[in-house]
Amino acid sequence: MANPAAEKWLGQLQGALAERMDRWAAAINVIAGPGLERGSVARTEAEQVSAAFERFLAGGIQSDELIEIVAGARPDAFWAAVEAFSAGASAEEWRRLASPLLAVPAVVRESRRLRHLSRWRRALAARRVGLLESPELREPLRKALARGPELVTLQAALALSRLGDLPGLAWLLQHPEATARRTRRQLVTLLERFGPGAAGELRTAVAGGKAPAPVLVAAIEVLGLHRDAASAGVLENVLRQGPLEARIVAARALGRIGAAESGPALIAALDDEAWQVRAQAARALGTVRAPANVGPLAGRVGDVAWWVRRHAAYALGRHGPAGRRALAEIAEAGQDLFAAAIAREVLQQIEWEAEIQGGFASVA
Amino acid sequence: MWPDAIEWGTWIATALLVYSAFGFAAHLALGLLASDEVGGQRRRQLLTDPLHLFESDQAPAISILLPARNDARTIVDAVRSLLQLDYPAFEVVVVNDDSSDGTLDQLITEFELRGSKRTPIGSVPRGSVRGVYGSPLSPGLTVIDLARPGGRARAAGLALAYARHPLVLVSDAGTVLERETLVRLALPFYEDDSVASVIGVVRPSNGSVIEHGNVTFCGRPASRLARFQSVEYLRGMISQRLAWGNQDSLFIVPGTLGLFSREALRAVDGFRGGNVGDDVDLCMRLQRRAAKDGRRSVVRCVSGAVAWTRVPESLRVLARQRARGYQALAEALWFNRELLLNGRLAIRQGIAYLFHLILDLFGPVFEVAGQVALVVLMFRGDLDLPLFIIYFSVFIVGGTIPSLMAIALERSACPRFQRGSDLEGLALYALLENLGYRQMTALWRLAGLWRALWGMRGVGGKVRSERAAPSAKAEAKAAA
């Protein structure tokens, strides 16, 4: 077709139609009902496929036999078995098993569906072929990632994260608009799956990022989850001058990293105008333990915001005898009723510490 | 000239026929929408891996609030069952609503509770809390002892002040949550920041065996009255709520299986406790707020999240429960009439409001008054027999088919029955409920409507004064 606009419009129309057909098919399937018998047949087939996987790993059957057995199963049963088995098998076992499975017709069909008109079908294909963790699938997955929309991008990114695909991660970080409507929790789970090896990529993106895009905020969180000490400087910078969301998460991430050098930056953040930042900074100082923290934390036990009071008091509780002394003074002074109450709560938790499963940390 | 009696009979029968046919068509449409929703949820389920996701520390933490009043027989098992749920981060806050049967003593003894110095997040009215208890052995359990009884909503509101987590679930001692229910309820919050509330499916536990939160056997109840209720629960919980969820207009939530965002609760003044049906009212307030903010899909129904509760097997208890339920619906519809009348709000919610008003609230009035009138006219000879037969045929078919659709949906939405014969047996009750049971419940619902009408007049001042009272947020601000 000569007109690109018309071509684009036609493509969108085809996609929408394919989407609608998928949706109707699902609804008709519901009305027709799975039935007790049909459900049990599908379960049995999935169990047979899983048994074939086990026999292959034990050396009981060869690749050809495995392909023959699983090719006879219905696609849904095959993928149900792949899903269940991939969760339980060791990395080495799964690599051995996944290699011959690439020749199974269901896998070949699913790889083609990465280019399907329906976005839902593309997303499902990305999720399924991603389970096989095959390097051969990197390129089609990257294309699906870039083509989108968000639903497909997320599934393709999850598939690429299983492969530790750093170019895929770089694309995600360079295109924050592609994941703008995903929740931070989802994005954190996604970025975390790329593993600690991706910390450098994340650090570069955070250092260069300006807008508070959800994926960049998630990247800050993940640097903390990986306890990436090399990122402390970048995070302190964000804590000083980043946007609100980024400052909150940077304070939490610095707490997870627990580097003593971050103490001054966190103490400065106790005076932040946003109570959320003050609360996270106080909490983080509970892990960055240093005598210099006790005074500023004791000052924050009288904060106007309950969460700041709580986190400051619990952080003091984690500062050993000096922190406890400070808490006892606040509780006894009783000038600030709110501060005294939270100090008494923490002192009681410390008393119970010896008996609590997991110790004081489980409640702090 | 006044029409003669036989014309009156024809007019009444025709009007009732039209009303029944409209109700049938509306329930049929809901059944189809529910199928679409179940299909959509199954598609979404194929793309998620909830257990893997919740192994990470990204699961939003949940506070389970458990208001208890004179629940000494069940409270310990209920708390133990809750503490065993599969979820990475949650706490249980029990509120003893001034019980007189030793509910608090049972908890203190079983969980070795001691006086706790736990501080509330928000403001708590002076003298409303007699004591707060915690246990070093169960750090996830807190018990609040209220100084005077105030009802479930007030107890939940006070418990909320002592709860710590961003998501809040209010349950009761008679409800058993399946072990994976929290994971399924929390998943929409994980995936979408705009979600304010997620509800699950509550099913009658009569006839089933539940051990440690696991349904080891699901069967048809032995009591006939409970079987009728099983059909009603499937129709109401699975078919209607999934359909309204699909249309983004879910108003009626189960009081024992709703997970709320704490932020969303705060935005609509949380649990008010001024009326009988606080759950429905709360849900409508959330919908109103979302409509004003232009947000969608704020209240969702998840078919895979299941809880079990014992339904009444005596007519007296059931009558009281139904009357109370309809009083709650009437009050909530009245308080939230803005959903219908304010043109700025969403059209779908207006349609849902009309459905609840015309078919749910005034349905019993039309059914009882109309059927009595038809029978009288028939015996007086003022009504044609064919019209009489056509009306009752539509009434029965229109009542049975939506129930059969709901029973069929059970297999796809949340299959729990292990024997096909149990579902077939319920199908028979879907037909039988139109011959007596439906009329009986219509009378109880009328009683509820009557009480709501008097209640509104009687306690209007109280409700208004509560609304005029400063919100929790304002109180907290003032305290700060």
Q: What pLDDT digit, counting tens, does each position of B443-475 carry?
A: 998 988 888 887 654 333 333 333 333 333 433
The residue among B47, B216, B55, B433 whose CA lies nearest residue A130 is B47
Q: What is the C-alpha separation between A51 and A241, in angstroms, rounded? A: 57
B250-285 pLDDT, tens digit each: 988 888 899 999 999 989 888 876 555 578 888 999
Burial bucket for residue B465 (CB in 10 Å: 0-12, 13-18, 19+): exposed
Tokens for A129?
């072929």
* pLDDT of B374 strictly over 90: no
Shared domain check, B88 and B17: no
Average pLDDT over residues B25-47: 90
Q: In chain A, which among 137-156 make CB contacts under 8 A with chain B? A: 151, 155
Q: What pLDDT sits at residue B343?
A: 56
Shared domain check, B241 and B108: no
A169-205 pLDDT, tens digit each: 999 999 999 998 899 899 999 999 999 999 999 999 9
Phi and psi torsions of B141, nearest 5°: -115, 130
One-letter amino acid of A96: R
Q: What pLDDT sits at residue B457?
A: 43
Give the distance between the most distant pair of CA atoms in chain B.
83
Q: What is the C-alpha separation between B227 and B427, in angstroms, rounded? A: 10
Q: What pLDDT sits at residue A40?
A: 62
Question: Which chain A residues have a beta carbon less than 8 Å from that of B137?
Answer: 355-357
Shared domain check, B199 and B335: yes
Residue B3's pLDDT band, with cuts at 50, 70 and 90, is: low
Interface test with B, best of A22, A128, A185 (most B CBs within 10 A): A185
Question: Which chain A residues have a beta carbon less than 8 Å from that of B52?
Answer: 87
Residue A88's pLDDT band, with cuts at 50, 70 and 90, is: confident
Partners of residue B198 on adjacent β-strands: B259, B300
Q: What pLDDT sits at residue B459?
A: 35
Q: What is the C-alpha separation between A245 and A225, in angstroms, rounded? A: 17
In a domain, B190, yes or no: yes
* CB within 8 Å of B279: residues ≥ 6 apart: B170, B253, B254, B255, B258, B328
In a domain, B469, yes or no: no
Nearest to B191 among A26, A183, A306 (CB): A183
Interface test with B, best of A110, A122, A152, A183 (most B CBs within 10 A): A183
Burial bucket for residue B295 (CB in 10 Å: 0-12, 13-18, 19+): middle
Q: What is the C-alpha separation between A297 and A289, in angstroms, rounded? A: 11
Shared domain check, B127 and B197: no
Residue A1's pLDDT band, with cuts at 50, 70 and 90, is: low
Shared domain check, B312 and B219: yes
- Residues B38, A192: C-beta atoms closer than 8 Å: no
Partners of residue B95 on adjacent β-strands: B67, B144
* CB within 8 Å of B415: residues ≥ 6 apart: A34, A39
Percentage of chain A modeled with pLDDT above 90: 50
Three-class SS state of B94: strand
Three-class SS state of B462: helix
Q: What pLDDT sits at residue B478?
A: 37
Q: What pLDDT sits at residue A166?
A: 94
Q: What is the nearest CA distance from A150 to chain B, expressed in angstroms?
A: 12
* CB within 8 Å of B25: residues ≥ 6 apart: none
Helices (H) and strands (E) in chain B, counts: 18, 12
* pLDDT of B129 strictly over 50: yes
A4-14 pLDDT, tens digit each: 778 777 777 77
A252-306 pLDDT, tens digit each: 999 999 888 999 999 999 999 999 999 999 999 999 888 899 999 999 999 999 9
* CB within 8 Å of A275: residues ≥ 6 apart: A303, A304, A305, A307, A308
pTM for the model: 0.86
Question: Which chain A residues have a beta carbon less than 8 Å from that of B38?
Answer: 27, 30
Under an 8 Å CB criterion, which residues of B touch A? 32, 35-36, 38-40, 42-43, 46-47, 49, 51-53, 56-58, 60, 116-119, 121, 134, 136-137, 139, 190-193, 408-409, 411-413, 415, 420, 480
Residue B174's pLDDT band, with cuts at 50, 70 and 90, is: confident
Average pLDDT over residues B106-117: 92
Lowest pLDDT segment from A81-95, B194-208, B309-323, B420-434: A81-95
Shared domain check, B214 and B348: yes
Q: For residue B114, what are the domain limits?
A: 61-165
In a domain, B78, yes or no: yes
Average pLDDT over residues B132-150: 90
Residue B31's pLDDT band, with cuts at 50, 70 and 90, is: very high
Partners of residue B300 on adjacent β-strands: B198
Residue A354's pLDDT band, with cuts at 50, 70 and 90, is: low
- Residues A26, B420: C-beta atoms closer than 8 Å: no
Average pLDDT over residues B95-104: 91
B52-87 pLDDT, tens digit each: 666 667 889 999 999 999 999 889 999 999 998 989
Q: What is the C-alpha separation between A218 and A326, in angstroms, rounded? A: 35
Q: Does A363 touch chain B (CB under 8 A)?
A: yes
| Topology, domain A89-163 | Leucine-rich Repeat Variant (1.25.10)
Q: What pLDDT sits at residue A289?
A: 80
Q: What is the nearest CA distance from A259 to chain B, expressed in angstroms?
A: 21
B248 — alpha (psi -120 to 50), left (phi > 0) or beta? left
Shared domain check, B230 and B92: no
Alpha-carbon separation of residue A47 from A82, A269, B417 (angstroms): 10, 56, 22
In a domain, B172, yes or no: no
Residue ranges per structural domain of chain A: 89-163, 164-257
A230: which DSSP letter? G
In a domain, B120, yes or no: yes
Shared domain check, B283 and B414: yes
Long-range contacts at B24-29 (CB < 8 A, ≥ 24 apart): B24/B394, B24/B397, B24/B398, B24/B399, B24/B401, B24/B402, B26/B355, B26/B359, B27/B239, B27/B398, B27/B401, B27/B402, B28/B401, B28/B402, B28/B405, B29/B243
Shared domain check, B211 and B311: yes
Shared domain check, B53 and B67: no
Q: What is the C-alpha separation between B131 and B154, in angstroms, rounded? A: 16
Q: What is the nearest CA distance from B167 to chain A, expressed in angstroms?
A: 14
* CB within 8 Å of B418: residues ≥ 6 apart: B217, B218, B219
Q: What pLDDT sits at residue B118?
A: 92
Contact between A281 and A251 under an 8 Å Cβ cutoff? The reply is: yes
Nearest to A123 among B35, B47, B193 (CB): B47
Q: Which of B165, B186, B201 is the last residue in one of the domains?
A: B165
In a domain, B478, yes or no: no
CA atoms within 13 A on the CB side of A275: 12
Give the number of domains in chain B: 2
Three-class SS state of B433: helix
Average pLDDT over residues B107-127: 90
Lowest pLDDT segment from A338-342, B17-21, B296-300: B296-300
- Residues A22, B43: C-beta atoms closer than 8 Å: yes
Burial bucket for residue A302 (CB in 10 Å: 0-12, 13-18, 19+): middle
Q: Does A34 touch chain B (CB under 8 A)?
A: yes
Contact between A301 and A342 under an 8 Å Cβ cutoff? The reply is: yes
- Residues A306, B52: C-beta atoms closer than 8 Å: no
Q: What is the C-alpha separation between A292 and B98, in angstroms, rounded? A: 47
Q: What pLDDT sits at residue B465?
A: 33
CA A184 to mean position of chain CA atoms: 8
B319-370 pLDDT, tens digit each: 998 888 888 888 888 888 888 766 555 788 888 999 999 999 888 888 888 8
Q: What is the C-alpha separation between A322 and A326, in angstroms, rounded? A: 6
* pLDDT of A52 strictly over 70: yes
In a domain, B436, yes or no: yes
Tokens for A309?
């009071």
- Residues B190, A124: C-beta atoms closer than 8 Å: no
Average pLDDT over residues B138-145: 92
Handedness of CA A342, A346, A347, A352 (dihedral sign): positive
Of residues B453 and A244, more confidently modeled: A244
Q: What pLDDT sits at residue B232?
A: 92
DSSP B216-264: EE----SSHHHHHHHHHHIIIIIIIHHHHHHTT------TTSEEEEHHH
The residue among A103, A53, A57, A119 whose CA lies nearest residue A81 is A53
Partners of residue B217 on adjacent β-strands: B209
B359: which DSSP letter? I
Mean model confidence pLDDT for chain B: 85
Three-class SS state of A290: coil
Q: What pLDDT sits at residue A196?
A: 92
Shared domain check, B432 and B354: yes
Residue A343's pLDDT band, with cuts at 50, 70 and 90, is: very high
Q: What pLDDT sits at residue A199?
A: 93
Nearest to B136 among A25, A123, A352 (CB): A352
Shared domain check, B76 and B53: no
Q: What is the nearest CA distance from A84 to chain B, expressed in angstroms?
A: 11
Q: What pLDDT sits at residue B4?
A: 62
Q: What pLDDT sits at residue A301?
A: 93
B129-134 vs B141-146, strand pairing mode: antiparallel
Question: Which chain A residues have a beta carbon less than 8 Å from that of B190?
Answer: 183, 185-186
The residue among B156, B155, B87 whose CA lies nearest residue B305 is B87
- The residue whose two tokens read 């930042």 is A277
B390-418 pLDDT, tens digit each: 888 989 999 999 999 999 888 888 888 87
Q: What pLDDT sits at residue B2?
A: 52
Of residues B148 and B94, more confidently modeled: B94
Residue B214's pLDDT band, with cuts at 50, 70 and 90, is: confident
